[in-house]
């Protein structure tokens, strides 16, 4: 960046240096107290010293609202960016990112996050701690699963996940009550699934914990060690409505298809307490399977009016 920039334009609010071949942005950037939009797309940023030191402590950290660094060479999200607490829009598409740092949760004002066209393999649960996030773009990566915590993004309107490696979605995605657009094309979601019935038998501790929970055995915190009280509080209810059981660490993963918008069937992940809950040869399971299926579709029909666009093709 040219020296003396702040002297020439002390009230500069928007700076666009896209496509200029920049390899670094110097300290001149720090002395622009009114800058709220910085566009630096399609450059060669990403090496050591690409961003000025002290970025997180400069007045810019409070004033900057929009930052676009797409089409550069960043292999990780620069830690300095996570100190720009006033950011509402962050674009790092078309870089070389392999992950998303958990500290992304520090950007509490973020409304738009674009990370498409990278090499990201996993989404950290901490991403769900962005209360204002409305648009999340993670397309064209290598993501294999979605953490159920994303259901906590209650402000989310658009979720772009096309061209990844997704084979299922977490059941909790039905809780995204304001979601209007879900883009899933280019994922192996539409192939047929073989149910994963791999099941590690529960430990004696888990069997005891299941008995306590399902039979409502009374106990007071003073009766048990703190570790066991915490353990008992981690019980998850089996989603099979005919079961009524619980599980802790030992469960069966099952893919179940539900309808969206009366047109698409999406594979959602369920966790059952035992293989008997999914076995077609169990009489209890036979009645519960149809009931569970209808319950899932009831959920889908309730969610259908929320899902204005489900893009699979």
Higher pLDDT, 206 or 115: 115
Query: Does residue 155 surpass a pLDDT of 50?
Result: yes
**Lookup result for tokens 């400069």:** 58
Average pLDDT of the residues in 4-33: 81
> What is the pLDDT confidence band of residue 275, given thresholds at 50, 70 and 90?
confident
Q: DSSP characters for the chain? A: --TTHHHH-TT--EEE-TTS--S---GGGGG-TT--EEE--SS---STTSS-TTGGGSTHHHH--EEE--SS--SS--GGGGG-TT-SEEE-TTS------GGGGG-TT--EEE--SS------GGGGG-TT--EEE--SS------GGGGG-TT--EEE--SS--S-EEGGGGG-TT--EEE-TTSGGGS--------PPPPHHHHHHHHHHHTT----GGGS-HHHHHHHTT-EE-S-TTT--EESS--EEEEEEEEETTTEEEEEEEEESSGGGT-TT-HHHHHHHHHHHHHHHHHHHHHHTT-SEEE--
> What is the pLDDT confidence band of residue 243, given thresholds at 50, 70 and 90?
confident
Higher pLDDT, 205 or 312: 205
CB 117, CB 96: distance < 8 Å: no
Query: Does residue 229 surpass a pLDDT of 70?
Result: yes
Q: What is the 3-state secondary structure (H, E, C) of 143-185?
A: CCCCCHHHHHCCCCCEEECCCCCCCCEEHHHHHCCCCCEEECC
- In terms of CATH, what superfamily is 5-194? Ribonuclease Inhibitor (3.80.10.10)
How does pLDDT run across 3-16, given as a tens digit for each residue? Answer: 445 556 667 889 99
- Measured CA to CA, the distance from residue 278 to residue 275 in angstroms comes to 5
- Measured CA to CA, the distance from residue 173 to residue 296 in angstroms comes to 12
The pLDDT value given to residue 255: 67
Query: Which tokens belong to 143?
Result: 């993501």
Phi-psi region of 26 (alpha: psi -120 to 50; beta: other; left: phi over 0): beta
CB 164, CB 186: distance < 8 Å: yes
Mean pLDDT, the chain, whole residue set = 80
Average pLDDT of the residues in 300-312: 46
Phi, psi of 159 (to 5 degrees): -130, 115
Domain borders along the chain are 5-194
The set of long-range contacts for 191-198, using a CB threshold of 8 Å and a minimum separation of 24, is 191/167, 193/167, 193/168, 193/255, 193/267, 195/254, 195/255, 195/278, 196/252, 196/253, 196/254, 196/255, 197/252, 197/254, 197/275, 197/278, 198/252, 198/253
How does pLDDT run across 51-78, given as a tens digit for each residue? Answer: 988 888 888 888 999 999 999 999 999 9
Average pLDDT of the residues in 90-104: 96
Higher pLDDT, 202 or 138: 138
- Our measurement of the distance from residue 210's CA atom to the centroid of its chain's CA atoms, rounded to an integer in Å, reads 30
Query: Does residue 18 surpass a pLDDT of 50?
Result: yes
Query: Does residue 224 surpass a pLDDT of 80?
Result: yes
How does pLDDT run across 170-218, given as a tens digit for each residue? Answer: 888 878 878 888 888 888 875 544 444 456 788 889 889 889 888 899 9
Query: Does residue 38 surpass a pLDDT of 90?
Result: yes
The pLDDT value given to residue 250: 84
């Amino acid at each position: 960046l040219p020296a003396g920039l702040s002297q020439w334009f002390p009230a500069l609010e928007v700076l666009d240096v896209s496509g200029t071949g920049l390899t670094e942005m110097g300290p001149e950037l720090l002395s622009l107290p009114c800058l709220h939009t910085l566009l630096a797309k399609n450059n060669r940023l990403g090496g050591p010293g690409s961003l000025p030191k002290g970025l997180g402590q400069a007045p810019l950290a409070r004033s900057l609202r929009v930052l676009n660094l797409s089409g550069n060479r960043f292999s990780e999200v620069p830690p300095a960016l996570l100190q720009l607490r006033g950011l509402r829009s962050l674009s790092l598409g078309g870089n070389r990112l392999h992950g998303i740092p958990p500290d992304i949760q520090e950007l509490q004002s973020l409304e738009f996050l674009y990370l498409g066209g990278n090499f990201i393999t996993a989404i950290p649960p901490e991403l769900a701690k962005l209360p204002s996030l409305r648009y999340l773009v993670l397309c064209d990566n290598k993501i294999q699963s979605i953490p159920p915590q994303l259901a906590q993004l209650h402000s989310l309107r658009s979720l772009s996940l096309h061209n990844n490696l997704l084979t299922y979605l977490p059941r909790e995605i039905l809780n995204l009550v304001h979601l209007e657009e879900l883009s899933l094309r280019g994922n192996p979601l539409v192939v047929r699934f073989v149910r994963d019935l791999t099941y590690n038998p529960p430990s004696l501790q888990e069997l005891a914990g299941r008995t306590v929970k399902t039979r409502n055995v009374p106990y007071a915190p003073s009766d048990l060690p703190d570790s066991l009280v915490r353990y008992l509080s981690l019980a998850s209810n089996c989603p099979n409505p005919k079961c009524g059981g619980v599980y802790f660490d030992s469960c069966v993963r099952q893919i179940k298809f539900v309808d969206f918008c009366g047109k698409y069937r999406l594979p959602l992940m369920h966790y059952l307490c035992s293989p008997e809950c999914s076995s077609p040869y169990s009489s209890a399971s036979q009645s519960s399977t149809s009931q569970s299926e209808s319950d899932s579709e009831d959920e889908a029909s309730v969610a259908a009016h929320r899902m204005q666009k489900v893009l699979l093709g």
